Amino acid sequence: MSASAASAITLLALAACTPGHDAAAPAAGGAPAAAQVLRRAVDAGGMRSIDPSISTDVPAAHVLDDLFEGLTRLGQDGEPAPGVAERWETSADGRVWTFHLRAARWSNGAAVQAGDFVYAWRRTVDPRTASDYAEALAPVRNALAIAEGRMDVTALGISAPDERTVRIELTAPTPFLLSLLTKSYAYPQYEPALRAHGDDWVRPEFMVNNGAFRLLEYVIGGRVTLVKNDDYWDAAHVRLQRVVYLPLDRAAQTERFFAGDLDFTESFSAEQTAWLRSRLGAQVVSAPYLGNFVLGVNVTRPPFAGNRALRMALTLAVDRETLVRYVRQGLYQPAWTPTPPLPGYRSPVPAWAALPEAARHALARRYYARAGYNAQHPLHVELRYPTDSDNRRTYEAVAAMWRTNLGVVAEPYNEEFRVQLNERHLKQLALFHYAWIGDYPDPLTFLQLFQTGFGYNDGGYSNPRYDALLAAAGSEADATRRLAELSQAEAILNEDVACIPLYYYATRHLIRSYVRGWTSNIQDRNLSQYMYLLRSQAH
């Protein structure tokens, strides 16, 4: 690893250690402010629905994190912690879990019962609900069969032996189950509210929820206001009285922060990192994020089909340190493999990553020549990417690197996300935007993308050895051995150059120094219930 990459990582590590961790003990700044109103931005274009069974976008997920609570909730440290369930046990083979509920209440005062979970999960996998997330519950027994209409919803592997016990049966040991349970599709839902109001149950006047806040106002495409829920079981520890969510695009978030109209932004433009740090200091917060920026390669059609040499040449010719340092201003970490760093997981970085730049370029040119291309017959390739100024700079830079290092004629071409997704799924694109945000902190969420027949395998990669290793890991009860098998599988991906990883994402927030109680975490989920404002500077 070169010096520049190392310094980038140090920066990230430093940023992760900046203030905000000490929720329990207010820092020297003084006592909590009297008016506890947090103004949070979320990225614009989301918030399509706040129905937990239906919502899929990140902005809505933040709001839902505040409105609902599953069997587990995301703890302040970013790890799953007891939520509605106060304790649980698991069977020896890891396939049956039993959760014991605490005395939690809905926002209308009714008790949260085991049946509310059963109802909600059945609703999510029911084909009639048409939930995009039915497949997310795939680890639960029969979930997929029900979603495909082959079984009745009552066959789902979740049951309520009594009012305070939830029993979950899984198809395979699922080490990340506790993390899955914190997600929106695993929340309980209050059946009487849904029965009475149908699809309208998510409106402020009808919603019954069990989280730390309740819904006061919901303007479509605009502001969402939450107020503290006094019926929440842990309400004693919730200090914010009100949370205002504002969907804004990236530039507007920064502007509003400077205007003093926001306390917590969702993102800022990577290009402005250095300038923002010079102006805002420690209020600029960044930490590793569970996502990768990868170029997808279609191995089923020319020019990449059966041409590993060409794929090798292209991946070797990308100067990742340069990209991260100059285009992303040191915000992200360079990536040589699809899976971002995860605790306990050994990332199989290919040997060529350590080569000095000149040697790597020379190697790239050798592969390029072996693939049958040269200055007279250069490779012509279109780089399709979804419209976004952040993406644009990266793609322009990669195209320029291929041009200068190999002589490739690469044209960046932006198009709308919807169009591109369609073309990707139909495997019409040779090279495409394949960035991925993990659903749960486990390598599987990234490695699945290259499994034969997997729904999102848009590059058409298929290798029996790879599939066998994933299958072996799937039924492996021992966590260490499982991770080792996944690591072996990932090494095969690198060997075959199944994709071109560029960098791993980082979270990027502007957070006022008087906001406390947040923690940088790899899933970038910050529950408002842990946050509060110090009196000294609050608005």
Partner 1 sequence: MRRTRPGALVAAALLALIVAAALLVPALSPYDYATPVWTKIFSGPSVSGGHLFGTDSLGRDLLVRVMWGCRISLLVGIAASLISVVIGVCWGALAGYAGGRLDGVLMRTVDVLYAVPFIPFVIVLEVAFGRNFLMVFIAIGAVSWLDIARIVRGQTLAICEQEYIEAARALGVRTTTMIRRHVLPNLIGLVAAYATLAIPGVILFEALLSFLGLGVHPPLASLGSLVAEGANEMQANPYLLIIPAAFLATIILCLNRLGDALRDALDPRHEEDGHG
Partner 2 sequence: MLRFLLQRLLTAIPTLLVIATLAFVLLHLAPGGPFDSDKVLVPQIQHAIESRYHLDEPLWRQYLRYLGELARGDFGPSFQYRNTSVNELIAQGLPVDAAIGSAALLLALLLGGATGLVAATRPGSWRDQLPMGLAVLGISIPVFVTAPLLILVFAMRLHWLPSGDWVAGSWRHLLLPALALALPYTAYIARIVRAAAIEALGQPYIRTARAKGLPTHVIVLRHALRPTLMPLVSFLGPALAGVLTGSIVVEQVFGLPGIGRLFVTGALNRDYTVVTGVTVLYGALIIGFNLLVDLCYAWLDPRVRART
The residues binding partner 2 (CB under 8 A) are 44-45, 48-49, 51, 54, 56, 127-128, 130-135, 144, 147-149, 199-200, 202, 219-223, 246-249, 252, 255-256, 258-261, 416-419, 421-423, 425, 455-456
Residues near 377 by Cβ (< 8 Å), separated by ≥ 6? none
Q: How far is the CB of 255 from partner 1 (least distance, A)?
A: 8
Residue 160: count other Cβ atoms within 10 Å of its Cβ: 17
Q: How far is the CB of 43 from partner 2 (least distance, A)?
A: 12
User: In the structure, how many helices (H) and strands (E) does the chain have?
Assistant: 16, 19
Residue 246, helix vs strand vs coil = strand
Distance CA(224)–CA(246), nearest Å, equals 7
Nearer to partner 2 among residue 222 and residue 281 (C-beta): 222
Going by C-alpha positions, the residue among 409, 320, 403 that lies closest to residue 357 is 320
Nearer to partner 1 among residue 103 and residue 400 (C-beta): 400
Distance CA(431)–CA(144), nearest Å, equals 31
Nearer to partner 1 among residue 251 and residue 354 (C-beta): 251
Nearer to partner 2 among residue 232 and residue 264 (C-beta): 264
Distance CA(44)–CA(266), nearest Å, equals 10
Nearer to partner 2 among residue 251 and residue 477 (C-beta): 251
Q: How far is the CB of 509 from partner 1 (least distance, A)?
A: 18
Nearer to partner 1 among residue 345 and residue 417 (C-beta): 417
Q: How far is the CB of 437 from partner 1 (least distance, A)?
A: 22
Nearer to partner 1 among residue 403 and residue 427 (C-beta): 403
Q: How far is the CB of 4 from partner 2 (least distance, A)?
A: 32
Q: Give the residues lining the site for partner 1 (CB under 8 A).
A: 250-251, 254-255, 258, 269, 271-272, 275-276, 322, 325-327, 387, 389, 392-393, 395-397, 399-400, 403-404, 412-416, 419
Q: How far is the CB of 392 from partner 1 (least distance, A)?
A: 6
**66 touches which of partner 1, partner 2, none (CB within 5 to 8 A by kind)?**
none
Residues near 101 by Cβ (< 8 Å), separated by ≥ 6? 71, 84, 85, 86, 112, 113, 114, 163, 164, 165, 166
Using left for φ > 0, alpha for ψ between -120 and 50, and beta otherwise, residue 45 falls in: left
Q: How far is the CB of 337 from partner 2 (least distance, A)?
A: 22
- Write the CA distances from 354 to 5, 56, 93, 203, integer angstroms: 11, 39, 41, 55
Residue 128, helix vs strand vs coil = helix
Which H or E element spans position 308?
Answer: helix 308-316
Going by C-alpha positions, the residue among 73, 534, 112, 509 that lies closest to residue 276 is 509
**389 touches which of partner 2, partner 1, none (CB within 5 to 8 A by kind)?**
partner 1
Environment class of 52 (CB within 10 Å of its CB; exposed 0-12, middle 13-18, buried 19+) = buried
**256 touches which of partner 1, partner 2, none (CB within 5 to 8 A by kind)?**
partner 2
Q: How far is the CB of 322 from partner 1 (least distance, A)?
A: 6
**527 touches which of partner 1, partner 2, none (CB within 5 to 8 A by kind)?**
none
Nearer to partner 1 among residue 370 and residue 403 (C-beta): 403
Nearer to partner 1 among residue 200 and residue 416 (C-beta): 416
**51 touches which of partner 2, partner 1, none (CB within 5 to 8 A by kind)?**
partner 2
Beta strands in 120-277 (DSSP E): 158-162, 165-169, 213-218, 224-228, 242-248
**199 touches which of partner 2, partner 1, none (CB within 5 to 8 A by kind)?**
partner 2
Residues near 194 by Cβ (< 8 Å), separated by ≥ 6? 123, 201
Distance CA(174)–CA(184), nearest Å, equals 18
Beta bridge partners of 40: 245, 264
**326 touches which of partner 2, partner 1, none (CB within 5 to 8 A by kind)?**
partner 1
**128 touches which of partner 1, partner 2, none (CB within 5 to 8 A by kind)?**
partner 2
**246 touches which of partner 1, partner 2, none (CB within 5 to 8 A by kind)?**
partner 2
- Determine the residue type at 318: V
Beta 72-74 vs 436-437: how paired, if at all? unpaired
Nearer to partner 2 among residue 232 and residue 440 (C-beta): 440
Q: How far is the CB of 277 from partner 1 (least distance, A)?
A: 11
**54 touches which of partner 1, partner 2, none (CB within 5 to 8 A by kind)?**
partner 2
**352 touches which of partner 2, partner 1, none (CB within 5 to 8 A by kind)?**
none
Sign of CA dihedral 383, 384, 389, 390: negative
Q: How far is the CB of 12 from partner 1 (least distance, A)?
A: 20
Contact indicator for 287, 520 with CB cutoff of 8 Å: yes
Nearer to partner 2 among residue 30 and residue 45 (C-beta): 45
